[in-house]
Amino acid sequence: MRRNYTAIDRFIISLDGALRMATGLSEGGQRENPAGDIPDMVMDEKNRQHAAGLMRINHAGEICAQALYAGQAATARSPKVQAEMQQAANEEIDHLSWCKARLDELDSQPSRLDPLWYAGSFAIGAIAGLAGDGWSLGFLKETENQVEAHLEGHIDKLPAEDARSRAILDQMKIDEARHAQMAADSGAYDLPQPVRDLMKLTADAMKAIAYRI
């Protein structure tokens, strides 16, 4: 029998799932880690900490992605868009688990503010969902475009010897471009420039904080 969940039910279920995954309590990922058997080169302390800071940002970004899509799915009007949001969130689970695995290898940990990133992003996603499916898909598309551009920057910023992190980010970048295309194909509206700017500003604040804590 199919249960009908309220938006609050969905928030609690998705928060529980994401935090279990983020803290390593559940398995999550389905695809092979793209870092595969690429050698884990020894880095000096400064580079190790820098790589860990960058991967902590990417892990926090994936926590936000889980929350955004869960929030959007919770308030989506059409079952089709709801299913697409859920599908996007499922694919992001791989990204979350790969980033967590790399943070472990770098002897580091996810952002201590993960629950805050999750709650804030869920609220933003729910608002996007309430604006209607065309806008919600537009928000997804813009998010994925911005993440893709961000990953490009991080790939350049990683220490040269950190090929394992780079392999993970390369695959994520390919996936995020596909998610943006999916949203475009489903009828995403183009967001107004001020909204895009605000999204970028919010993401920049999160990145500056998550690099450190």
- As measured in angstroms, the least distance from the Cβ of 145 to Fe ion is 10
CA distance 208 to 213: 9
- As measured in angstroms, the least distance from the Cβ of 197 to Fe ion is 21
Closer residue to Fe ion, CB minimum distance, 75 or 97: 97
Residue selected from 94, 176, 207, 210 as contacting Fe ion according to rule CB under 5 A: 176
Closer residue to Fe ion, CB minimum distance, 162 or 176: 176
CA distance 48 to 27: 25
Which region among 10-18, 61-69, 130-138, 181-189 touches Fe ion (by CB under 5 A)? 61-69
Applying CB under 5 A, does 94 fall inside the site for Fe ion? no
Q: Give the x-and-dash track for 142-161 against Fe ion (CB under 5 A).
A: --x-----------------
**Block residue for tokens 């389905």:** 30
Residue selected from 54, 82, 92, 121 as contacting Fe ion according to rule CB under 5 A: 92
153 neighbors 172 (Cβ within 8 angstroms): no
Nearest in space to 79 (alpha carbons), one of 4, 155, 135 = 4
The footprint of Fe ion on residues 125-144 (CB under 5 A) is 144
Applying CB under 5 A, does 179 fall inside the site for Fe ion? yes
Side chain identity, residue 179: H
CA distance 35 to 192: 37
Residue selected from 50, 56, 59, 95 as contacting Fe ion according to rule CB under 5 A: 95
* DSSP assignment string, 16-47: HHHHHHHTTSS----SPPTTTT-------HHH
Binding site for Fe ion (CB under 5 A): 65, 92, 95, 144, 176, 179
